[in-house]
Each structure stands twice: as C-alpha cells, then as structure tokens.
Structure 1
Amino acid sequence: MIMTPGLRKFALTAHIIFSIGWLGAVISFLALVITALITEDAQTVAAIWIAMESIGWFAIVPLALASLLTGLVMAIGTPWGLFRHYWVLFKFLLTILTTIILLLNMGTVSYLADISAESRSIELAGMRGELIHAGGGLLVLLVITILSIYKPRGMTRYGLRKQHQQRNKPVQP
C-alpha cells in the first residue's frame, strides 16, 4: 500500500524528527560519559550515572523505537519498499541491531545508576564501556543518516524482480 503524498510527508517528518532526536540524545549521553571520565569527583560521577539512566530510558529508548517504527512505515508505505533496495534494508537492519544493543545495555546502565545512587562512589569501570557503546551508537546513527541522504544504487533480487514485473505488466485502459 502506497501512502498518499500528505500522509507520506507526515510520516517522513515524524521519522526525521525521531531520528534526529535519537542522534541528539546519544550525543548528550556521550557528553555525560566523557564528563564522568575526566572528573575526579565521586558525587559528580554518581549523578552522571543517574542522568544517563534517565536520558537512556526517557529519551534514547523511546526515540529509537519511534525511529524504528516510523522507518518501517516509510519503507512499507513508499515505493522504496523494505526489501527492494540494499540501502533501505541495510538501514533497517542497522536500526534493529542498534536498538537491541541499546535495550541490552540499558540494564547495565540502570544497575550501575542504582549502585551509584546508593553508595555515591565512583564506578568508572562501567563508564569506559559506555564510552564504547555511545561512540559506536553515534557512529552507526551517522552511517544510517548518510545512507538516507546518498541512497546508494543497487537493488536486491526481490527489488529487481518486482521492477521487472511492473515493467511487463499490461496497461489497463
């Protein structure tokens, strides 16, 4: 089912807003991680863990899920399709993988935030892992953004078959 132009613009706008929001929230998360790594104050590090948990659960996770859902709607409701072009499929798979890693990592963030809230001690061992997660997540989101803009050529076998079927379809009066 192809969306009407008005609905397509609405869905695209929502997808862009959620995706940019996700990118911005990850940058904020990364800024907190870097701040925690360069400070020597135990209370600051404890507060940062708590802030990271809040940003994660109330911004990053909802934005990631909304971006995934609106991306799926855009793929299904537009001529691009989900399986027709490699760049769309690759974007979708990267978004799913990144969202799964995010959800798995948020358990660790919550655990370390709870420990920090109770003990007010520095927990930097987990912070180095968060630097890798946030930096890697940012890199993947930038790759997804680049794919969205440049749309590299190349259709999947499914896409080529569908294109061939549409070209050979008889014209109805």
Structure 2
Amino acid sequence: MRPRMRRTIVVIHVIASVALVGEVWGLVVLNTAATLANDPALTHSAYRMMSPLVFAGGIPLSLIALTSGITLGLTSHWGVFRHYWVAGKLVLLLAVVGVGMFLFDPEGMAAATSGGRSVAEARQWGQVAALGAQIVMLMTATTLSVFKPRRRIRLTGSGDLE
C-alpha cells in the first residue's frame, strides 16, 4: 500500500476509534444519569437518547474501526495474527460489539420506564456495567496500540502464523 493511502487509513482508524470511545462514554453518562435519577420522565428520556447514539455513532464507528484495522493489519508488517497486540485489539473490538449487541438494551430500558414505571435497580446497574466493560475494553485496545508489545504469535513447530 502506498504511504499516503496507508496514512489516510491510519487517520480514519484513529478517528473512528477515538470517536467510538467518546460515543460509549456518552452512553455511560446517560445510563448512569438514568440509573441515579429519581424522575421517571428523565430516566425514560435518557434511555430514549441512547438508541440514536448507538445507531448513528456506535454501529458505524465500530464497523469503520474494524474495517480499517483489518485493512491496516493485512497490508503491514504487523499482520492481523502475527502479534498478540494486534490480535488482542481485534478480539477486544469484537467483544465491544458483542456486548453492545447482546447485553446493552436501551430500547428495552426505555420501554420499561414508559408511563412513569421504574425499572428494577439491578437491571439498570447491569446496563451501566455493560457499558463500563466496553470502556475498559476500548481503553485496553488503545493501550495496546501505544505500547505495541513485540511478542509474536507462534504456532507449535510451524513458525509464525501469517
């Protein structure tokens, strides 16, 4: 890949990744506010605001970060499965997506709070925990990007996995 194109993809990858951290942080703030609020209308509104953030931010940013990251891995000496830190970043991003798909349910929380009903506190804190896990995974991926541990993935008796 030409250097100019590579730098462009790196910029896209970094912007998408940083924006994804910001989007998840916004969800953490909204979810925590909804969990701590004593006002059912505020709680309901906070949960309703989360879906547009997820669909306008989280999903496209995750896909951009995933696509650009795999492209960079496939076209560089780092590879996708040559170094633990690159493979780790891939696994972490897939885990962030999985948590978002299977554990985070802002629409369900909004429906549960409609009409002034309150949601069980345990369920609310479970949503905060899911988002907290996403933040930790994204921060870990960022740390791996900066420190780039040099340890390579090796298959028993066959050298490097390409």
Number of residue pairs aligned between Structure 1 and Structure 2: 158
Structure 1 residue 153 and structure 2 residue 147: aligned? Answer: no
Equivalent in the alignment of 2:118: 122
State TM-score, norm by structure 1.
0.83
**Distance verdict in 2 for CA 1:59–1:124, change over 3 Å:** farther
Q: Secondary structure at the match of 1:62?
A: helix
Q: Which amino acid aligns with 1:31?
A: V
- Does the CA contact (< 8 Å) of 1:80 and 1:88 recur in 2? yes
Q: Residues 87-108 of structure 1: CA distance to partner in whole angstroms, max 9, x if unpaired?
A: 10111111112212212234x3
Given the alignment of the two structures, is residue 67 of structure 1 paired with residue 55 of structure 2, yes or no?
Answer: no
C-alpha separation between the residues in 2 aligned to 1:103 and 1:38?
Answer: 24
Give the equivalent residue in structure 2 for 1:29. 27
Larger Rg: 1 or 2?
A: 1
Question: What is the match of residue 132 of structure 2?
Answer: 135
1:168 aligned partner: none
- What is residue 167 of structure 1 aligned with on the other side? none
Indicate the SS of the match to 1:132.
Answer: helix
2:103 is the counterpart of 1:111: no
How far apart in 1 are the matches of 2:2 and 2:159?
25
Q: Normalising to structure 2: TM-score of the pair?
A: 0.89
1:41 matched residue in structure 2:
39
- Distance in 2 (CA, whole Å) between partners of 1:128 and 1:100 is 18
**What are the superposed Cα offsets for residues 122-162 of structure 1, whole Å, 9 maximum, x if unpaired?**
3253321111011111011000000000001211116x935
Structure 2 unaligned spans of 5+: none
What do you get for the CA RMSD once the two structures are aligned? 1.9
Check whether the contact 1:8–1:78 (CA below 8 A) recurs between aligned residues.
Answer: no
Identity of aligned residues (%): 24
Higher helix content, 1 or 2:
1
